[in-house]
Structures are given as structure tokens and as C-alpha cells.
Amino acid sequence: MADATNTNDDVWKSDRMVANWVAGTGARERHRSRHRRLMADLLPFDRDEPFTFVDLGAGTGAATRAVLDAFPRASAILAEYSAQMAAEGGRALSSYEGRYRYVDFDLAQGDWPADLPTGAPAMISSLCVHHLPDERKRALFAEIWDHLAPGGWYFNYDPVAAGDPVVEAAWLRAGDRQDPDAEASRRNRSPDEQQRHENHVRYIIPLAPQLAFLEEAGFEAIDVYWKQLDHVIYGGRRPSGRASG
């Protein structure tokens, strides 16, 4: 889907921007790692069961690593369109050699490459769907449904908008109390950090329409499986025994 206002390339295909983002990964991941582990725990597999899952918009593979740690016989296909992020991911995933491969795929486009399989037992996404316009979110969820096996699950970990200024103020107040450095960080962003922030927030929408997109696509067992302030894990399952639509 063409988007004249798209700024994803300016951030995620820039050597400088990606390097700066990676430099702050440690602090971010200390907070997010338990959320990604919960997303892994939601997958319906035995701990020693072999399966191959797809991580959409995989970036450097943080969500993939959580699943591979939880399921030692699992393997991953990481769909990512930024060569810079995939290169960083190759370094971060060095200890998982033989259990993963990257596939070039831009979530903003609807043309799935042949090396992304249909009939996947599970797909995940983490902190990437919010970068897409609403109509592309809707279309993506339908495409995910089509590429899942009957009974296959999809989970997404992402930020959402409040949709109510009073709620948004409460979220901000609580977040600042939990992280005493948050307000100062907002006030003192570098130019690169400000550019990433503006790219980050422009398409974030409330939770309800995203759940509606899942329902429209045909998912069942749709739920908000975890939520804390503006971050959620939601998802659902493709019903068993239904042909692709």
C-alpha cells in the first residue's frame, strides 16, 4: 500500500538511526522481555514440541528469542524489510544458529513472498503493527488468517492509543511514576529520537478497532491476553477446519 507520508524507511533503513536505536536496546528490553515471554507462553505447544513459527516485522528478533528460549525445539522465520535490522538480528541471534532464517517482507505491502509459508501453526508480531495505517492493519490481519493453518494462533504485542484524554493523562501519570526518568527523556529527545517518536506515534489507534479487525478477518478466541496502560498483547485463533477465504 503506497503511503505518501510513509517515514518508516527514514528510520528503519538508515544506518545511523538503527545504530542509535540499537544502542538503547538494553534498557528497553529489561522492561519488555517479560511481556514477550508471556506471548511465548500463550503459544499452544508442548515445551519439547518441534514447530516453525513466523515473526512478522521481526526487527532484531527480540520476540523470536523469547519463543526459541521457551521452546528449545522450535524454529523461526523472521519477516523483516530492513537490512540494517536484520543484520543486527543476525548478531543477536548468533547462539540460535540453525533455528532461524530471515525473509525479506515489508508489512506495509500485501504481496507475501513465496518463502513465507502458508499453513503456519503460529504467527507473532511485536511492536511493529502500530506503524501501519488502519486499512493496512485490517488487510494484514486477513492475510495472516490466510497464512495460518486451521487452528493456528496469532498474537500481537503493541502500543495502543487511549481514545480519551482523561485516560491518556492517567496512563502518562502512572507511567511517569513507574519510571522517574520518563518525563526528562521526553523533554530532552535528540533529533533522531524525536524523529523516531513521531514515526512511532502517527498510526497508533485504540484497542477496540484492532480487535474488530481480527473478528472481521475470521479469528476466534479473540482476547486481550495482557494489558498494562498503553501496551497490550492481543490475538486469536484461526478456527479449525475452515478453508482459506
pTM of the model: 0.89
Residue 91 in contact with residue 1, Cβ under 8 Å? no
- The structural architecture, per CATH, of the domain 8-237 is 3-Layer(aba) Sandwich (3.40)
pLDDT tens by residue, 18-43: 777 677 666 667 778 999 999 999 99
> Which of 154-168, 173-187, 208-222 has the least mean pLDDT?
173-187
Sort strands 231-237 and 52-56 into parallel, antiparallel or unpaired: unpaired
β-partners of residue 158 are: 232
Separation CA 159–CA 20 (nearest Å): 21
The residue with greater pLDDT, 56 or 191, is 56
Q: How far apart are the first and last CA of the chain?
A: 21
Q: Kind and range of the H or E element at 158?
A: strand 148-159
Cα distances (angstroms) measured from residue 40 to each of 55, 176, 201: 11, 28, 26
> Residue 172 is inside which H or E element, if any?
helix 165-178
231 DSSP β-pair partners? 159, 228
Report which DSSP code applies to 206.
B
| C-alpha atoms less than 13 angstroms from C-alpha of 238 in its C-beta half-sphere | 26
Rounded to an integer, the average pLDDT of 113-117 is 92
Least confident stretch, 128-142, 193-207, 217-231: 193-207
Report the C-alpha gap between 17 and 220 in whole angstroms: 39
| Lowest pLDDT segment from 131-140, 198-207, 231-240 | 198-207
Q: Indicate the domain borders of the chain.
A: 8-237
